[in-house]
Amino acid sequence: MLTTLHESIHPSAIVAPGACIGAGVKIGPFCTVGRDVVLEDGVELVSHVAIDGKTRLGEGVKLFPFCTVGLAPQDLKYKGEETETIIGARTQIREHASIHRGTVTGTGVTRIGADCLLMATVHVAHDCDVGDGVIMSNNVVLGGHVEIGPRAIIGGGAAMLQFVRVGAGAMVGGLTGVTRDVTPYCRVFGSRAQMLGLNIIGLRRRGVERAQMQTIQAAHKLIFSGEGVFAARVVEARERFGADPYVAEMLEFIANPSRHGLITALADDGEG
């Protein structure tokens, strides 16, 4: 059911009966909006945007030309089941980006959090879960079922293998292939991602002060470059540093790896 003034919908746009359009929504030239789409207040579709399926765009979301959101997944097992796509408030999705709906063999939902920026030609495959405040630079590719934690930054041209997890506040360098999980607040880079150290700049931007930073660095160094087996180092880090909330978050992530496992060692040029 349309709930806005028709003046906000360009005459060349096609909005299917049944679509729910919030107050102040702007639908530009040659956009198409499917019948099960919900556009919350203040959404803007600049032009040539295609939205289909059971898709909800949160308040103030802005989609730039030639984006596609909520179309069928690139999965041969998909047989037209009703699944979802959800985009959080104020997220911006730039030109030619594509976000596909979930599948019944996954969670059934592809989810992008609030206040994200997905730059031009980003692809988010079915059943991905992207947290709030994530930035993905141009040409980033997420395989199906990938999880990206809040405030992570993904550099241009990086590619995530399906089911991989990238933790909160992590930084993935440009052109990096991520085939194993990236622990929160860490930096990785390389044709096959290697750990370079902590995302110190990101932690500083979150207001982490010197004393706490030293604790996080000490825990990181123990876990990823200490002596002995990895599991024992994790236990020791929990005993010595587990009271710190950032370290606790890292340890919780490590305790629940995906099927691909973790990046567990620093590269030769890594910095703890």
Q: What would the pLDDT profile of 20-64 be if each residue is shown by its tens digit?
A: 999 999 999 999 999 999 999 999 999 999 999 999 999 999 999
Enumerate the active-site residues.
126-127, 144
Q: Which residues contact 149 (CB under 8 A, 6 or more apart)?
A: 131, 134, 165, 166, 167, 168, 169, 170, 184
Average pLDDT over residues 148-166: 98
- Residue 272: pLDDT band (50, 70, 90) is very low
The DSSP result for the chain, as a single string, is -B-S-GGGB-TT-EE-TT-EE-TT-EE-TT-EE-TT-EE-TT-EE-SS-EE-SEEEE-TT-EE-TT-EEEEPPS-TT--S---EEEE-TT-EE-TT-EEE---TTTTSEEEE-TT-EE-TT-EE-TT-EE-TT-EE-TT-EE-TT-EE-TT-EE-TT-EE-TT-EE-TT-EE-TT-EE-SBB-TTEEEETTTTEEEEE-HHHHHHTT--HHHHHHHHHHHHHHHHSSS-HHHHHHHHHHHHTTSHHHHHHHHHHTS--TT-B--SEEEEEE-
pTM of the model: 0.95
Q: What would the pLDDT profile of 64-86 be if each residue is shown by its tens digit?
A: 999 999 999 999 999 999 999 99
What would the two tokens of residue 167 be? Answer: 């933790």
What would the two tokens of residue 189 be? Answer: 């880079």
% of the chain residues with pLDDT over 90: 94
Q: What would the pLDDT profile of 81-116 be if each residue is shown by its tens digit?
A: 999 999 999 999 999 999 999 999 999 999 999 999
Give CA angle at 96 (24, 171), nearest 5°.
Answer: 95
Alpha carbon separation from 167 to 12, 14, 184, 228, 238 (Å, rounded): 42, 39, 4, 24, 18
Domains annotated on the chain, with CATH: 6-145 (2.160.10.10), 203-267 (1.20.1180.10)
Q: What is the pLDDT of residue 74?
A: 98
